[in-house]
Amino acid sequence: MKRIGIISLFALLFAGFLINWLYSYEKGREGAYISISDAKDPPTILSESAVFERSGFALEYVDMPVDAQHQRTLDDYYKNRAYPGAPPSIPHPVKEKRSMGGKVCLQCHQNGGFVEKFKAYAPVTPHPAMVNCKQCHVEQQTQAYFIDTDFYKKPAPAVGTNNALPGSPPVIPHQLQMRENCLSCHAGPAAVKELRVTHPERINCRQCHVPKEHQFETVERFVRANTMSND
Amino acid sequence: MYRSLYTNRRSFIKKMAVLSAMTAAAGMFPGIVFAEEQERGIPTDANLDWKKAPCRFCGVGCGVLVGTENGRAVAVKGDPKSPVNKGLCCVKGYHSIMALYGKDRLTKPLVKKNGTYVETSMEEALDLVASKMKETIADHGKDAVSIYGSGQWTIPDGYVASKLFKGCIGTNNVEANARLCMATAVTGFLTSFGLDEPMGCYEDIDHANTFVLWGNNMAEMHPVLFSRLLDQRLRRGAKIIDFATRTTRTSMAADKSILFNPQTDLAVANAICHEIVNNGWVNTEFVKEHCNFSKGLTQMGYGLEDHYKFTDKPESITFEDYKAFLADYAPEKVARLAGVSVKDIKYLAAHFGDPNKKVMSLWCMGMNQHSRGTWINNLVYNIHLLTGKISSPGNSPFSLTGQPSACGTVREVGTLTHKLPHGVVMNKEHREFAAKIWGVPVENIPAKPTYHTVEMFRALDRGDIRFMWIQVTNPMVTMPKLKRYRDGAKKEGRFIVVSDIYPTPTTDIADVILPSAMWIEREGLYGNSERRTQYFEQMLEPPGEAMSDTWQLVEVAKRLGYEKQFHYGRESHIEEIYNEYRKHHEGKKHNMAPLEVLKSQPGALWPYVDGKSTKWRFNAKYDPACSNGKDFHFYGKKDGKAVIWQRPYEPAAEEPDSEYPFWLGTGRVVEHWHTGSMTRRIPVLHQAMPHSYVELNPGDAKRMQIRTGDKVRLTTRRGKIVLPASVNERGVPAPMQVFVPFFDENMLINDITLDSFCPISKEPDYKKCAVKVEKA
């Protein structure tokens, strides 16, 4: 009797298991029916999406003190570029000579932070997806010239004079190509004091700050055309 | 090597604590941090006089402070006291005052004589307008004169226009450009709730967990509200879901972007309801207590033909009928039609269905400029009603507006052919009520509505209308199938008066051009999307002979012999008119705040009862007009219940075919506001966005070998236009779709759009027609 009880208990448990298993299998088949049309990823618009990158850090940036001792100056910032907008050269020695850059560079330059070795904050790259770093950013082996140059270095856009009205948001005085991500240069510990935005938590930067120069062409004056010309 | 931001957990937690304290402080003094910082940029010698006003541009209604010096506006900052924008503006707002100073500002009236415009005095020009009106009425009857106004009309502008035309002259030929943008929102509200305008307010943003944006590129079109969404995401982890036909800046900022095929939002909304009903997510108690089910007529047509008429016949149904109807909209059935995966439909439905989530739906032109616009508005309300997520903080279907006073003037004053300030012309009691306040015999107000906007311009073309006065709007850029209406307006025997501040394609067709005072060059009031009425004082002298639209109308009314009804004083007329207007809305359901209150604070929400704004209508906790003793009372309907509508999917009026294989949609960009007549005269904005373009999908562009800047010819059944291409720039349309902004008067995209409209609201669908795309 006892044995029958035990056997029937296990039989019951097994039956329960079977029912459950079959039920969830059927449910699963139903779920599998779901993909009639595949979820397609919406396209990415680099010039638009990059603005919002790093916005997860925005609240951190609000509260970021300027570390005066280890701060880059605006002068240093531009000295490292052949002209405003040129790719900066690598101002520190690079141990790994053969690599294109990639992870080695991104280790410090993807998210920034203090680098003990150089006693400096690593600047954050606005385009971490482009990993062949050294195709544009080269190490300086010497400060001497082969032959002196007559190249004219255009002065950098002045800070604090790019607004149309007193107190109105400044326009963007530089090109945006490869620099779509505002927060990488305008916020964080490596950002130059003069270039730091006071309100990094306002993520949609270009709702107030619009480019001064149109990206691909010179801007003509707005002249009213004869509106009857479409007839 | 380096210190990550998050490696030191303790300092991170500490920072978060400091931050949350800061957030709390910022909550108490919202925006104040930001405005102070902004002020530091202003030269110290600036001796500016700051006065408050609502922004001139969109319907968000940001509070701005305008700095004036020696009689000129020189700076703008966000008003930190305004609960709308908390001290922030967008690029248009910050530079708005520059729109006052374009070199070609109209300063003198111009009268067309033998094909050229001749300067005259204001007196003479107004005499001419009045005598032309009299003449037209005598020759062709009252219904041959009309006024076409705007959601940029101040409240007093619209009020005197309605009083003059409906009350005194006796014609319902009063329309406004809001017919092209908000009419659908109105019919959506009226059919579902019986009363216009959102039940909630912007404060919902601070409570919601999920924001669903229905075809709404908020990051560009309502940037200041969108920044409040982003803020809530940052601080509370709220989710932003972008549900759209085109990939935009909003899609890039959103947590999730879902694309659907044009017009199929109807099917997806029903599929969401299907999931809610079949997964047991219905808030049964709420639905039982507060909702009815109805269905209306289907296959209504698209209004493409002249004299098109449609009246819906609502019919009661049961919940079981509704459930049976939804069976056709199972996600698996909708997915292919809509191009949305079943998973994404279920994802959307799950956000609405989760009883622990507060959901806010936001939409603007995507749902309103829709050939089944009233239906899709109803369907979104269905979702919120079925789940009971309505009329409480954070649970809010919210219809956004595009003009500063689309709500305040067009919808509340009622400058539409069928409307009165309180109620509709078809209702005898409403007519009597208005006539009494206006001081006119009730017989003056005709009981039959005449023409809605599209039909009004058709009537002008046909010759049924002979005189049209156009104020603060630019229909010769914005009318769909524009060429017909431009040709019609230019016909012999039509007399067009245009009041504006700059020459536009609309002043080009005018017989008389009246220079208007703009925004803060006069006194006025606007009403924004959240039922907030805002006052602004006159801060500047208008240039030359420019005169406010209100006073132009008053002057003409007096010349027509209505001195008794328009006896307002020159200095005090705005106050007198507003006080008279308030009488129309007396009572707990729509009381307007007194002018002193509006002068002292950045606006107030109506119903303004016992000295308090009403933030959530229909909710007994917040709305003193609720009287049924229950938690909610939808008092717009006689039985106090909101309506859940059975509305099917129907195709658009014109869909792509082999000859015209692409969809054409039109819209806006962040830099320019509507037809650009103001923003293009602001150097900062013009330089950032100098002309229009046609956006193509990169795949299509590659196949057709089109690159950014190449000339592209668009051809529809209405005509053709050549535009420079834009590939992978501001927005990316889905394959076989193109998008064109409409701000550029030198590239009039509306010459080729279709004038189909929603049969219930009569609002045109600018988002959908078929087009052929070629490299030019």
B224–A207 CB contact, under 8 Å: yes
Complex ipTM, two decimals?
Answer: 0.71
Q: Is residue A47's pLDDT more than 90? A: no
Do residues B239 and B320 both lie within one domain? yes
| pLDDT tens, residue by residue, B594-613 | 999 999 999 999 999 999 99
Give domain status of residue B605, yes or no.
Answer: no
Question: Does the annotation count B181 as an active-site position?
Answer: yes
Task: Please report the pLDDT score of residue A218 as a whole number.
Answer: 65
Q: Which band of pLDDT confidence, cut at 50, 70 and 90, is reported for residue B4?
A: very low
| B281 and B165 housed in the same domain | no
* Top-confidence residue, A22 or B660: B660
pLDDT of B40 reads: 54
Q: Which of A4-13, A219-228, B272-281, B714-723 has the lowest mean pLDDT?
A: A219-228
Determine whether B402 is an active site residue.
Answer: yes
Query: Is residue B175 predicted with pLDDT exceeding 60?
Result: yes
* pLDDT > 90? residue B19: no
Q: Looking at the complex, report in whole angstroms how far the Cα of residue A119 sits from the nearest Cα belonging to chain B.
A: 10
CATH code of B95's domain: 3.30.200.210
Q: B200 catalytic, yes or no?
A: no
Q: What is the pLDDT of residue B33?
A: 40
In a domain, B21, yes or no: yes
Q: Give residue B549's region: left, alpha or beta (phi > 0; psi -120 to 50).
A: alpha
> In the numeric block, which tokens belong to residue B716?
């529809």
pTM confidence score: 0.87
Reply yes or no on whether the pLDDT at B7 is more than 50: no
What pLDDT score was predicted for residue B227? 92
Give a yes or no: residue B478 inside a domain. no
Least confident range from B27-41, B224-238, B633-647: namely B27-41
Q: How far is A41 from chain B (nearest CA, A)?
A: 8
pLDDT band at B337 (very low <50, low <70, confident <90, very high): very high
Judged against a pLDDT cut of 60, whether residue B6 lies above it is answered with no
- Of the pLDDT bands very low, low, confident and very high (cuts 50, 70, 90), residue A167 is confident
User: Are residues B345 and B256 located together in one domain of the fold?
Assistant: yes
* Predicted pLDDT of residue B22: 43
Q: Give exposure, A171-199, as e/b (b: 16+ Cβ within 10 Å).
A: bbbeebeebbbbbbbbbbbbbbeeebbeb
Residues 6+ apart with CB under 8 A from A85: A174, A175
Q: Which CATH number do you get for residue B675?
A: 2.40.40.20
Q: What residues have CB less than 8 Å from B361, skipping those under 6 apart?
A: B211, B212, B213, B214, B380, B383, B384, B396, B397, B398
- Res. B24: pLDDT tops 50: no
Q: Which of B232, B403, B471, B552 is catalytic?
A: B403
Instruction: Tell me which chain A residues have a C-beta less than 8 angstroms from the C-beta of B341.
Output: 34-40
Based on the domain organization, do B586 and B697 belong to the same domain? no
Q: Do A35 and B503 touch (CB under 8 A)?
A: no
Q: Catalytic: which of B52, B77, B86, B92?
A: B92
Structurally, chain B folds into a number of domains equal to 5
Q: Is residue B93 part of a domain?
A: yes
Task: Give the range of the structural domain holding residue B556, as residue numbers without chain letter.
Answer: 110-181+404-466+488-502+517-595
The answer to whether residues B376 and B423 belong to one domain is no
**pLDDT reading at B222 higher than 60:** yes
Q: Is there a contact between A214 and B688 if contact means CB atoms under 8 Å apart?
A: yes
Full DSSP string of chain A: -HHHHHHHHHHHHHHHHHHHHHHHHHHHHHHHTT-SS---PPPP-HHHHGGGTTGGGHHHHHT----GGGPPPHHHHHHTSSSTTSPPPB-S--S--SS-SHHHHHHHHTT-EEETTTTEEEPPPS-TT---GGGT--B-S-S--SS------PPPPPTT---SSTTSPPPB-S--TT---HHHHHSSTTS-GGG--S-TT---GGGT--BSS-SSSPPPP-----GGGG-
Which of B12-26, B125-139, B565-579 has the least mean pLDDT? B12-26
The mean per-residue pLDDT over the stretch B210-217 comes to: 96
Q: Considering the domain boundaries, does residue B18 fall inside one?
A: yes
Q: Which of B133, B182, B364, B407 is catalytic?
A: B182
A164–B88 CB contact, under 8 Å? no
State whether B98 and A52 contact (CB < 8 Å).
no
User: B258 contacts in A (CB within 8 Å)?
Assistant: 42
Is the pLDDT assigned to residue A229 strictly greater than 60? no
Of A59, A169, A220, the CB nearest to B91: A169
- Span of B3-17, B126-140, B312-326 with lowest mean pLDDT: B3-17
d(CA B667, CA B753) in angstroms, rounded, equals 12
B655 is a domain residue: no
Residues B92, B123: one domain? Answer: no
Average pLDDT, chain B: 93
**Residue B432: CATH number of its domain:** 3.40.50.740
* Residues B352, B381 share a domain: yes
**Position B392 in a domain:** yes
Q: Are residues B282 and B343 in the same domain?
A: yes
Does B26 touch chain A if contact means CB atoms closer than 8 Å?
A: no
Is residue B282 located within the same domain as residue B168?
no
Q: Label residue B125 by pLDDT band (50, 70, 90).
A: very high
Domain limit, last residue, from B49, B73, B100? B100
Per residue in B489-501, pLDDT tens?
999 999 999 999 9
pLDDT level of residue B652 (50, 70, 90 thresholds):
very high
Q: Hey, are the CB atoms on B226 and A204 less than 8 Å from each other?
A: yes
Q: What is the arithmetic mean of pLDDT over B573-594?
A: 96
Q: How many whole angstroms separate alpha carbon B580 and alpha carbon B586? A: 11
Split at pLDDT 50, 70, 90, the class of B301 is very high
Render pLDDT for B691-726 as a digit per residue (tens, 0 to 9): 999 999 999 999 999 999 999 999 999 999 999 999
Rounded to whole angstroms, the Cα distance separating B185 from B362 reads 12
Residue B346 catalytic? no
DSSP string for A192-205: -GGG--S-TT---G
Q: What CATH number has the domain bearing residue B239?
A: 3.40.228.10
* B558: in domain: yes
Q: Are residues B459 and B540 in the same domain?
A: yes
Domain stops at, among B100, B128, B154 = B100
Region of B224 on the Ramachandran plot (φ > 0 left; ψ -120 to 50 alpha; else beta):
alpha
Interface residue B252 vs chain A (CB under 8 A): yes
Selected residues 655-674 of chain B with any CB under 8 Å from a CB in chain A: 670-671
Identify the band that residue B663 occupies on the pLDDT scale cut at 50, 70 and 90. Answer: very high
Cβ distance of B332 and A33 shorter than 8 Å: yes
What pLDDT does B35 receive?
Answer: 45
List the single range of A208-212, B99-103, B126-130, B462-466 with lowest mean pLDDT. Answer: A208-212
Looking at the fold, whether B581 and B521 belong to one and the same domain comes out as yes
Higher pLDDT, B269 or A86: B269
Lowest mean pLDDT, pick from B25-29, B101-105, B335-339, B720-724: B25-29
How many Å lie between the alpha carbon of A3 and the closest alpha carbon of chain B?
Answer: 45
Residue A146 scores a pLDDT above 90: no
Torsion, Cα of B552, B558, B562, B564 (10° steps): 110
A48–B95: do the CB atoms touch at under 8 Å? no
Q: What is the pLDDT of residues B44-59, one digit of tens each?
A: 445 788 999 999 999 9
The answer to whether B483 contacts chain A (CB < 8 Å) is: yes
B276 plus B325 within the same structural domain: yes
Identify the pLDDT of residue B46.
Answer: 59
**Which pLDDT band, with edges at 50, 70 and 90, does A103 fall under?**
confident
Q: Is the pLDDT of residue B672 over 50?
A: yes
pLDDT above 60 (res B25): no
Residues B517, B539: Cα–Cα separation, whole Å:
11
